Structure 1
Amino acid sequence: MNSYDVAIIGSGPGGYVAAIRCAQLGMKTAIIEKYSVLGGTCLNVGCIPSKALLDSSHHYEDAVKHFEDHGIEIPGDIKVNLEKMIARKQTVVDQTTGGIDFLMKKNKVDVYQGVGSFKDATHITIKGEKEEEIEAKNTIIATGSKPSTLPFIEIDKERIITSTEALKLKEVPKHLIIIGGGVIGLELGQVYKRLGAEVTVVEYMDRIIPTMDAGLSKELNKVFKKEKFNMKASHKVKSVERVGDDVIVKADDKKGNEVEFKGDYCLVSVGRKPYTDGLNAEAAGVKLNDRGQVEVNAHLQTTASNIYAIGDVVKGAMLAHKAEEEGVFVAETIAGQKPHIDYNLIPGVVYTWPEVAAVGKTEEQLKEAGVNYKVGQFPMRALGRSRASMDIDGFVKVLADKNTDEILGVHMIGARAADMIAEAVVAMEYRASAEDVSRMSHAHPTFTEAIKEAALAATDDRALHV
């Protein structure tokens, strides 16, 4: 029987990063993955493939709608080859997962293929092509999550689908009905809208991206309506039925009136839930809570002292980069170091176009906490860089403490917001004031000038270009 300092169950962003950091710290490390490829949801059926399709569909939309404005003329009709687009997406996925294989070899991490199941707190049975057992002084549970559904919906993976199936459709839907106005639904909805589908978004809450700042939600909703999305907030779905090649969705609007939607595909995108199937956690003394999450303390330690859990399987936002931070945190904790994670400073991103990104507190949270704050906001359309690229939708909003001027939250929607948010994270890690950021020189012309201008607006209402 092979013995290890650390065994990691699950090879997603949290798991494989934890494995690398454990190996760097001199620990003999094993990683267990039930699928034949490493990388978990994010690399195989989540972050990476969805961004590949978002980029491909964005190129197509630019060619159809914007090339002529740029003086680029393409003779003949511009057509979508969905099969080729999906194939390119898979090539990107294969290259990325292949990179994880290389990193495991480079760091001398032993990879086991099969379902990892606890025999007890220090022994794990791996059921794959053959059954084997390993011993581990410490174990990290990084088994991730899977798509949620509603109890009355039967996912047939053909017409009533999850994000996994939406990433490999063989045709562009005529009418795609999306249940859920969160990150995943909106990103995939924009992919197929660009490619020619009619898209209806049915959201239970009173706005899309309901966990983000209300201003971002309002602006993104405005953009989507301009793109002719059919946006239906405050609608409670009560039935989803397939009839031949059609899907009938019935919902009650906010007045209680029944509304019916008919499409050829229905994407159920109502969030994700922790995945612990086959883990046999109780055999190791690991407790799950009533939401199916693994219970952990502030050190991400489970009810079994030598077993830790990270990523989507524990509380908090289900984000790949949050799982990575936790993977490093646990590796360093096991090694006797004193790592730290500030969960308030883990950014959230929606990769639609315009992109949406945020870090820190929302206005709603600051009001609820009774914090005395000030707001600085700057429109993207006032930037020379935005006009040059024809990306004029959106804004940057800086929230700062009214007394100390410390930045408490930054919320942005616009071109490259996913990349720009890192500037806000850096500033807030060092507890910068709005004035600190307003006095930093930003290259001109760039999108990030909007952050400086919003900070100026928050400092003394002295933005320069509005």
Structure 2
Amino acid sequence: MKSYDVAVIGSGPGGYVAAIRCAQLGMKTAIIEKYATKGGTCLNVGCIPSKALLDSSHHYEDAVKHFEEHGIDIPGEIKVNLANMMKRKDSVVEQTTKGIDFLMDKNKIDSFQGVGSFKSKNEVLITSEEGKEESIEAKNIIIATGSKPRTLPGIEIDKERIITSTEALSLKEIPKHLILIGGGVIGLELGQVYNRLGAEVTVLEYMDRIIPTMDKAMSKEMRKVLKKQGMELKLSHEVQSVERKGDEVLVKAKDKKGNEVEIKGDYCLVSVGRVPFTKGLNPENAGVEINNRGQVKVNDKLQTTTPTIYAIGDVIQGAMLAHKAEEEGTFVAEVIAGQKPHIDYNLIPNVVYTWPEVASVGKTEEQLKEEGANYKVGEFPMKALGRSRASGDIAGLVKILADKQTDEVLGVHMIGARTADLIAEAVTAMEFRASAEDIARMSHAHPTYAEAVKEAALAATEDRALHI
């Protein structure tokens, strides 16, 4: 039996990063992945393919709606070649997942393909798809098995017409009418892809606003943008049933007044979040406890109820974000190595990759109100930037929340072009406990979208914004 210092079960962003960091720290490391390709949900059926489709559909929308105003005339009809779009997406995924194989080889990490399950606290059984079994032992084991799409009671996912995000990334046709259950990140991103390509899109959201976990100002602005783009948003709607009749899907829901609403479409995407995945893991054999939400229980060092076994990413509590899992993977590797790493979960950014993009870090205004915090607000609209007018991306704003006494930045929320990249400035500032005035006094290149961050900081500093 092969022996290792560390064995990682799962090769998603958390798992493969944990394996690399363990190897960098001199530990003999193994990684176990049940699928033929590494990278987990994110690289195979999540972050990477969805961004590829978002970018491709964005190019198409620009060609149809905006090229002419930029002085670009295209003779003939502009058409979507969905098969080629999917082929490009698959190519991006393939390149990215092969990159993980390269990194495993480079760092001398042994890879095993099959379902990893506990035989004991130090022994992992690996069962291949063909049923072949092999066992390895490890001093430390990291659970990084990720998550799977959640569904609602009574809704049967047939993976043909009633689908999850996985199937939505590989459709063979553009829906005529896509019904989206859930107005969160995944649903809005995929809804925007198919809306751009010509589908009618209806969003049913149980809460009274879309992207409900983000600052209310972001939800409000995003709602305006999506309505302008042609998406129908039905908020405060509780889905009662989803039925398929041939190529038609009938969704019944109740609005906030209790009235029944019926919507017919040809596809229904159920996008109501994700749940931890531990099927086949047999954690009880290693003394690892699972809580009532299906999450692996961990302490502040991400140790499970068995101290030599750790868990990271979507399978534990907290936001289900690839970069959160990566931070935890690095954290656990360094804990095992005897170091004293730290993660500030308040400073893990959150992003929605629609266009405009939405990004945030730190506290929302609603959270600060609940806490009774004494805070101030600085806002700046993207339309007031020369860079935004030059590119035509004038929707959105930057909002900075700061402590009224100390001026320390408590939260930054932004919607606009390239805010997924801009949020890193806010994370950096908050990591170093910057004040709004600190950001306001930093030079920002002109003309850039980043100037909106400076202006919002100026607005939070004695209402000193220069360009509004």
Post-superposition Cα deviations, 1:406-442, rounded to whole Å, max 9, x if no partner, equal 0000000000000000000000000000000000000
What one-letter code is carried by the residue in structure 2 that aligns with 1:286?
V
Alignment of 1:444-459 (within 5 A): 444-459=446-461
Question: Which string of whole-angstrom CA distances, capped at 9 and with x for unpartnered residues, describes residues 286-318 of structure 1?
Answer: 000000000000000000010000000000000
> How far apart are 1:228 and its partner, in Å?
1.3
Report the CA distance between 1:278 and its aligned residue: 0.3
SS of the residue 1:460 aligns to: coil
Aligned mates of 2:56, 2:343 — CA distance in 1: 35
Q: Distance in 2 between matches of 1:181 and 1:118?
A: 37
Q: Could you tell me how far apart the structure 2 residues matched to 1:418 and 1:337 are?
A: 31
Aligned partner of 1:286 in structure 2 is: 288
Describe how 1:136-147 pairs up with structure 2 within 5 A: 136-147=138-149
Amino acid in the other structure paired with 1:282: E
What number of residue pairs does the alignment pair up? 466
Pick from 247, 250, 274 the counterpart of residue 249 of structure 2: 247
Q: CA deviation at 1:44?
A: 0.1
Is the partner of 1:292 in helix, strand or coil?
Answer: coil
Residue in 1 aligned with 2:408? 406
Q: How does 1:231-246 map to 2 (within 5 A)?
A: 231-246=233-248
Counterpart position of 2:24: 24
Over aligned residue pairs, what C-alpha RMSD do you find? 0.3
Q: Does 1:395 align with 2:397?
A: yes
Describe the superposition over 1:320-355 as per-residue Cα deviations: whole angstroms up to 9, x where unpaired.
Answer: 000000000000000000000000000000000000
Alpha-carbon distance between aligned partners in 2 of 1:85 and 1:325, rounded to the nearest angstrom: 32
How far does residue 199 in structure 1 lie from its aligned partner after superposition? 0.1
SS at match of 2:360: strand
Task: Provide the rounded CA distance (Å) in 2 between the counterparts of 1:394 and 1:230.
Answer: 19
Structure 1 counterpart of 2:19, one-letter code? A
| SS of residue matched to 1:210 | coil
Supply the AA of the counterpart residue of 1:141.
Answer: I
Comparing 127-136 and 190-199, the one that deviates more: 127-136
Deviations 1:208-237 (A, max 9, x none): 000000000000000001111110000000
Equivalent residues in 2 for 1:43-122, closer than 5 Å: 43-122=43-122
Aligned to 2:210, which of 203, 208, 211?
A: 208
Provide the secondary structure at the position in 1 that maps to 2:461. Answer: helix
Q: For residues 112-132 of structure 1, what are the alpha-carbon distances to aligned partners after superposition, in whole Å with 9 as ceiling and x for unaligned?
A: 000000000000000014210
Distance, in Å, in 1 between the alignment partners of 2:193 and 2:11 is 27
TM-superposed deviation, 1:141:
0.1
| Matched residue type, 1:50 | S
Q: Does 1:125 find its partner at 2:151?
A: no
* Alignment-derived partner of residue 375 in structure 1: 377
Shift of 1:254: 0.3
Question: Secondary structure of the equivalent of 1:339?
Answer: coil
Letter matched to residue 18 of structure 1 = A
| Structure 1 Cα separation of the partners of residues 137 and 64 of structure 2 | 58
How do 1:148-297 residues align onto structure 2 when only pairs under 5 Å count? Answer: 148-297=150-299
Give the Cα–Cα distance (whole angstroms) in 1 for the partners of residues 263 and 297 of structure 2.
40
Shift of 1:133: 0.2
CA distance in 2, matches of 1:305, 1:425: 32
Alpha-carbon distance, 1:151 to partner:
1.3
User: Identity rate of aligned residues, in percent?
Assistant: 79
State the partner residue of 1:335: 337
Structure 1 residue 143, shift from structure 2 partner: 0.0
In structure 1, distance between residues paired with 2:115 and 2:167: 23
2:33 alignment counterpart: 33
- Distance in 2 separating the partners of 1:104 and 1:22: 11
Structure 2 counterparts to residues 296-375 of structure 1, below 5 A: 296-375=298-377
Q: Identify which range, 129-138 or 256-265, moves more after superposition.
A: 129-138
**Letter of the aligned partner of 2:88 in structure 1?**
R
* Residues 94-137 of structure 1 deviation map (CA, whole Å, 9 limit, x = unaligned): 00000000000000000000000000000000001421000000
Gaps of 5+ in 1: none
Q: Secondary structure at the match of 2:119?
A: strand
Tell me the equivalent position of 1:432: 434
Normalising by structure 2, what TM-score? 0.99
Letter in 2 for 1:182: G
Cα distance in structure 2, aligned partners of 1:239 and 1:134: 46
Per-residue CA deviation, residues 33-81 of structure 1 (Å, 9 max, x unaligned), is 0001000000000000000000000000000000000000000000000
